Amino acid sequence: MHPQLSNDRSAVDMLVQEAKLCMRFDHPAIAQTFELGHHDGVWYFVMEYVDGIDLGALAHVVTALGERLDPVAVAYIVSAMARGLDHAHKLKGTDGRPLGIVHRDVSPQNVLISLRGEVKLIDFGVAKVAAKIEQTIAGVIKGKYAYMSPEQAAAEPLDARSDVFSLGICLFELLAAQGLFRQKETASPFAVLHAVREAAIPPLRSVMPDVPQALADITARCLNRDRAQRPGSAAEVADALDAWLAVAAPTFGPQALAALVAGILADAPEQARAPSDIATPPLPHLDRTSFVQSPYTIVSQVPVAPNRLQTPVIRPLWWPTQQATLQFLAVGAGALVFTVAWMLVAWLVRSGRL
């Protein structure tokens, strides 16, 4: 988390809430979160390491090579994304009621593709924190507006169908090998938001005629601005994509995706990889002696025990660390022992006993 937000109670509370949600997820298409910690004024997540590349960077590499992703691979990846989203959308609290989770930031940059062919969603709920970051750092999340739903762009209440629209944007862009609502870098966020709400959405096959009709139809349904006309859940999107895959490529799976990604990266020059849209500040040096286990540390368990998720006390930057406090107490204890021993010796000398 950016240091300038670490003393912002509302931003930290949002981060804590995201950690609580992420630690409840138990799905192969969602990257696991193990811990939320705080060190030298910086909040951080400890997450599952995914050895691979994000989907946005992969698409950038493919475009730089003058190619486009195989529609089979696109359908497989987006189906996995939809399954992960559906798991989050349907997650229930300890009282049995749905938590009403909406990702809010479904975009290629928030999808990791591992070298083993795994698809992993990241950054659930981070859009709220990102909005805070934008107030301080101009432009760092400008590109994410292009993946919002119309209702999100209009600041209306959201449900799972907002993420379905964002899935549709990802489908369109990956299959068409071009942006849908993305504007030139000089365009204002307002122009992008206006495009999301009002700009005409071209039929996918008018942009890329060889896209299979079934995939074009699924994409069009997801991109309906009337949310009542979209698929009612992310699971419906996954089911439709899986039905097409069962006929078009019944053997395509993680091994095939891993081979495809490895081939793309082997052919790509290093400069073809796109930088991350949101730069994360480096964590200050953290060694074994200074690490203090967080109350959020868990070992992949669902649900998380409530007593492991207490909101931490936010202390000012001048507040001493636990290590400094222990060192101070040790010095104080040594001084106290020395003082008592000195007084005892002085008393023994005065009384003639020494």
**pLDDT confidence of residue 331:** 87
Q: Is 86 a catalytic residue?
A: no
- Name the pLDDT band for 271 (thresholds 50, 70, 90): low
Residue type, 19: A
Residue type, 179: G
SS3 308: helix
- What CATH architecture applies to the domain 51-272? Orthogonal Bundle (1.10)
CA distance 108 to 210: 22
Examine the pLDDT at 188 and tell me if it is beyond 90.
Answer: no
Give strand ranges (E) for the chain.
Answer: 33-39, 42-47, 52-54, 111-114, 119-121
Pairing of strands 52-54, 111-114: antiparallel
CA distance 58 to 62: 6
**From the candidates 8, 54, 105, 277, which is the catalytic residue?**
105
**pLDDT confidence of residue 23:** 80
Those residues whose C-beta lies under 8 Å from the C-beta of residue 41, and which sit 6 or more positions away, are 3, 6, 284, 317
Examine the pLDDT at 42 and tell me if it is beyond 90.
Answer: no
For 146, 336, 341, 344, the CA distances from 349, given in Å and listed in that order, are 84, 20, 12, 9
Examine the pLDDT at 336 and tell me if it is beyond 70.
Answer: yes
CA distance 139 to 99: 31
Q: Which of 29, 210, 41 is nearest to 106 (CA)?
A: 29
